[in-house]
Amino acid sequence: MRLLHLSDLHLGKRVCEFSMLDDQRYILEQILSLLDSSPVDAVLLAGDLYDKPVPPAEAVRLLDWFLTALSARRLPVFAISGNHDSAERIAFGSHLLAGSRVYVSPVFDGVPAPITLTDDFGPVDIYLLPFLKPAMVRHVYPDEPIETYSDALGCVLRRCTPDPARRSVLVAHQFVAGAAACESEEPSVGGLDCVDAALFDGFDYVALGHLHSPQKVGRDTVRYCGTPLKYSFSEARQHKSATLVELGAKGDVRITTLPLTPRHDLREVRGSYMELTDRRRYADTAVDDYLHITLTDQQDVPDALARLRVIYPNLMRLDYDNLRTRTQNDLDAPARTEQKTPLEHFAAFYELQNNQPMTSQQTAFCQQLIETLWKEEDV
């Protein structure tokens, strides 16, 4: 069975006040083309379908168009709400949609029941678990001692016991300890929203949403597929993709990525004003990409933003890197230090002492330790 794993569409998102709707439609059309050339048996949408709980009408129309296009291809769709979504709005009409094999997670009210697909190797049970907060789970299970996100997820998954003889897939939207966040989707202070990857051990594949960087967490089959588009300049060096999951017999899971090419890339460019306005430098470049330009001129260039946008119409952000800004950065360093999380402070100290960053396992351990200390302090 072949499954396409997508997440974090963030339909309706604006980046530096630029609307991404046209770019989002372009990338969704590209995903549909991929499905036509490389057919699958189902599509998984792991949350953050919209960028806001109350999305603009244009974003709602775009999602409606995409789901209709998937349904027209007779593809089952399995979608959940993420932390940016309104679970109630995402769940609206879910019983009607199920008649078209578009399955949407309900507002959390207990352990999700599996939806079963079948192939030559037998059944595949798919569980839809919307984004969970501790308060949501305490409301359903008031007698359970639930303080953290990991407690909440553990409470639910202890009751959600896949048949070990059958293949099972979980679609979820959480921050898993050890994963790498980027600027556009930061975890909470101290990593209090982290959950333990071991909670997913009963599932053959876990289709995660929430973090924007494609990556595995712990094992290859617990994965974030990442966003289909770049939504911050911290993602500028990433290569976006959709994740193709192939389930063979029980225990046989193969994962490949299908590259996605945006209508406008999101890039960072650096140089002096004279260099960046020299036709010989920009003539063979995609000048309509979304850009963060850093000028290295020692003196500010009058009206630089407007003048550069004559050449680079989608210039999103303009900074300077010179003696003045470096001095200002030194003056602002104490304030930036106060804004760092405890984990960021410890990671910086570790790298200073060891000349290398912490491993994902060390990061996960530190997050759990900070979370424990945080709880003890509250007590």
Scanning the structure block, which residue is given the tokens 């553990």? 154
222 phi and psi angles, rounded to 5 deg: -115, 105
Q: Which residues contact 377 (CB under 8 A, 6 or more apart)?
A: none
- Assess whether pLDDT exceeds 70 at residue 139: yes
Question: What SS3 state is found at 278?
Answer: coil
The reported pLDDT for the residue numbered 90 is: 94
- Average pLDDT on 271-278 reads 94
Of all residues in the chain, the percent with pLDDT exceeding 90 is 69
Please tell me whether residue 96 adopts helix, strand or coil conformation. helix
The amino acid at residue 81 is S
pLDDT value of position 379: 37
Q: Which residue has better confidence, 340 or 53?
A: 53
- The pLDDT of residue 361 is 76
Quick one: pLDDT at residue 183? 63
What percentage of the chain carries pLDDT values higher than 70? 89
Work out the average pLDDT over 29-43: 96
The pLDDT assigned to 121 comes to: 95
Q: Which are the contacts of 95, defined by CB distance < 8 A and separation ≥ 6?
A: none
State the pLDDT at residue 369: 78
Torsion angles phi and psi, residue 18, rounded to 5: -95, 125
Alpha carbons within 13 angstroms on the beta-carbon side of residue 17 total 3
3-class SS shares of the chain: helix, strand, coil, % to 5 = 35, 25, 40
Task: State yes or no: pLDDT of 222 exceeds 60.
Answer: yes
Closest CA to 168 of 196, 224, 129: 129
pLDDT, greater one: 122 or 337 = 122
Report residue 342: phi and psi, to 5°. -55, -40
- pLDDT for the residue 375: 54
Mean pLDDT computed over 287-313: 94
DSSP state of 106: P
Helix (H) or strand (E) holding 271: strand 266-271
Q: Across residues 216-222, what is the average pLDDT? A: 90
2-259 CATH choice from 3.40.50.510, 3.30.70.920, 3.40.50.720, 3.60.21.10: 3.60.21.10
Residue 40 has, within 13 A of its CA and on its CB side, a CA count of 26
User: pLDDT digit string (tens) for 339-366?
Assistant: 667 787 778 777 655 646 788 778 888 8
DSSP 25: H
Dihedral, CA atoms, 249, 172, 81, 231, nearest 10 degrees? -100
Structure tokens at 324: 């003045």
Burial label for 8, CB within 10 Å (0-12, 13-18, 19+), is buried
For position 378, what pLDDT does the model report? Answer: 42
Residue 2's closest CA among 147, 119, 163?
119
pLDDT of residue 348: 75
CA distance 306 to 269: 16
What integer pLDDT is reported at residue 359 of this predicted model? Answer: 83
Give the least confident one: 93-102, 138-147, 360-369: 360-369
Q: Exposure pattern of 291-309 as b/e (b: 16+ CB <10 Å)? A: bbbbbebeeebeebeeebe
User: Across all residues in the chain, what is the average pLDDT?
Assistant: 89
Taking the C-alpha atoms of residue 135 and residue 141, their distance in angstroms, rounded to an integer, is 10
Q: Which residues fall within 8 angstroms of residue 287, CB to CB, at 6 or more apart?
A: 311, 312, 313
pTM greater than 0.85: no
Q: In the numeric block, which tokens belong to residue 220?
A: 């290859």
pLDDT tens for residues 171-191? 999 998 877 776 665 555 445
Pair 54, 17: CB distance under 8 Å: no
Per-residue pLDDT at 48 exceeds 60: yes
